[in-house]
Each structure stands twice: as C-alpha cells, then as structure tokens.
Amino acid sequence: MRILYVEDEKFLAEAVIHLLKKEKIAVDHAADGEEGLELALKPNYDCIVLDIMLPKVSGLTILETIRGRGVKTPVIMLSALNEVEDKVKGLTLGADDYLAKPFKTAELVARINAVCRRPALVEQEMMSFHDLSYDPANRTLNNVALTDKEAEIMKMFLVNPKLTVTKQQILAHVWGADSEHDENYVEVYMSYLRKKLKEIGSRVQIKTIRGLGYKLDV
C-alpha cells in the first residue's frame, strides 16, 4: 500500500511517516500544495492524506482540482480546525474522510485502512502505451497477471511512458524512500517484467539506459 502525504510541518511529517512505515504503509511526502497537487494527479496512490492549511495551494483546492480531473483516489483531509462545517465541506468536495489535528497515528492508520477497504465507486481507468494496457482492477497487463511489485513498477512506467525512470526512483517508490535495499531488487524485477512482456508478445520493451535507468520503448 502506498499513500501520498501532503504536509508542511516538517517535524510532524517525519514522525508520521516513520510510524506509517512500521505499519507497512509506503509514503511519498510533499511539503507544499504545489508539489502535492502535481503528485496527487498521478494514479500512483491507494490513498492521499491532505492537510488543509498548506503553503502555495490549499488542501481543499487540491481536492477540488483532482476530483475535477477525474482522479478517484480516496482522500483523507487533515485540519487543525475541528469544525463540522469544514468536515462537511471536505466531504462535499469529494473527500472520503476527515481527521482533526492533533491526531494519534493509530487513528490515521485506521482511517487509511478503512478508506482503502471501500469498493472503488467508479472503476479506475486503464493505463496504456502502444499495444500495452494495464488494468488496475484486475492487476493485469494485457490479461497477464502481475504481482504486486511488478504492477507498482509497471504503473510508474505507464504514468509517464516517455520518461526514463531511475533505479533510485523505483526503489523509493516501490520499496520505500530511505530503503537500505539493494538496486539489485530493481534489476531482478526488470527481468521479471521483461519475461512477462515477452509472454504477452508486445512490441513494447523495457530499454536500459545504462547509468541512468529504464524506459519503455517500442
């Protein structure tokens, strides 16, 4: 499970991220609304945790924007103001839950799990590139089943099919940011994915850019 956490209070953010990690929840962190909005638009997350008071772009604006763009990812709003008004406003704009600051991390974990447990109200969209299409609902690439990690990596490619993704980015995204993990993990999974691409018979392949990373290519 991977979430996006948009929070400007650095100290709080670090503490929360640390604790979430213990719960096996991988976290990408954005420190302001601008960065948060950019990341939130990518279909990479199981859940987005949004502070309302943020530098540059407010949490409510982020929420409104991504919902307007058809992003269905569950959103949990955070706010120092425990006013029911705000809560209702958030929920009206399409938030899935609301948590008042200060909160216990255990409470946040419970909400995240609850929100991810909900059936998707609308089916998530397929992601595609040339003759490849990934179906998030069934976790299949052209009807071939992917494992969890394989799917996470394939999604990274498909979000920006033209871009080269570095091993470090993949490690950070799939295995967690501070990871002591080996880059060999990534290499192993590239091998797995290439095998599946061959099985599919796609003309798309994973191309190595030596010293940089990997990208999809025809």
Partner DNA sequence: TTGCATTTTTAAGTTTCATTAAAGTTTTGT
Partner DNA sequence: ACAAAACTTTAATGAAACTTAAAAATGCAA
- Rounded to whole angstroms, the Cα distance separating 207 from 216 reads 6
Here the tokens at position 13 are: 């953010």
Residue 69 CA to residue 22 CA, distance in Å, equals 33
Largest CA distance in the chain: 55
Q: How far is the CB of 182 from DNA (least distance, A)?
A: 6
Tokens of 30: 């954005």
Stretch that binds DNA, among 64-72, 96-104, 108-116, 182-190 (CB under 7 A): 182-190
Length reported for the chain: 218
Q: Which does 2 bind (CB under 5 to 8 A by kind): DNA, a second copy, none?
A: none
In angstroms, the CA 17 to CA 7 distance is 11
- CA 133 to centroid of chain Cα atoms: 19
Is the distance from CB of 82 to CB of 104 less than 8 angstroms? no
Under the binding rule (CB under 7 A), the answer on residue 143 touching DNA is no
Place of tokens 């490690």: 171
Q: Which listed option, a second copy, DNA, none, makes contact with residue 10 (CB within 5 to 8 Å by class)?
A: none
Report the residue from 4, 79, 87, 157 that binds a second copy according to the rule CB under 8 A. Answer: 87
Q: Which two tokens stand for residue 190?
A: 């590239």
106 is an interface residue for a second copy by CB under 8 A: no
Q: Which of 147, 195, 198, 199 binds a second copy (CB under 8 A)?
A: 147
Of 176, 174, 200, 202, residue with least CA distance to 186: 174
Candidates 56-64, 85-93, 127-135, 190-198; binding stretch for DNA (CB under 7 A): 190-198
195 near DNA, rule: CB under 7 A: yes
The footprint of a second copy on this chain (CB under 8 A) covers a number of residues equal to 49
Closest CA to 31 of 1, 2, 61, 11: 11
Nearer Cβ to DNA, position 15 or 188? 188
Binding DNA (rule: CB under 7 A), the pick from 185, 196, 200, 215 is: 185
Residue type, 197: L
| Contacts to a second copy by CB under 8 A | 34, 37-38, 41-44, 56-57, 61, 65, 68-70, 84, 87-88, 91-92, 94, 96-97, 116-119, 121, 123, 137-139, 145, 147-148, 162-166, 168-169, 171-173, 209-212, 215
| Contacts to DNA by CB under 7 A | 145, 147-150, 167, 175, 181-185, 187-192, 194-195, 208-212, 214
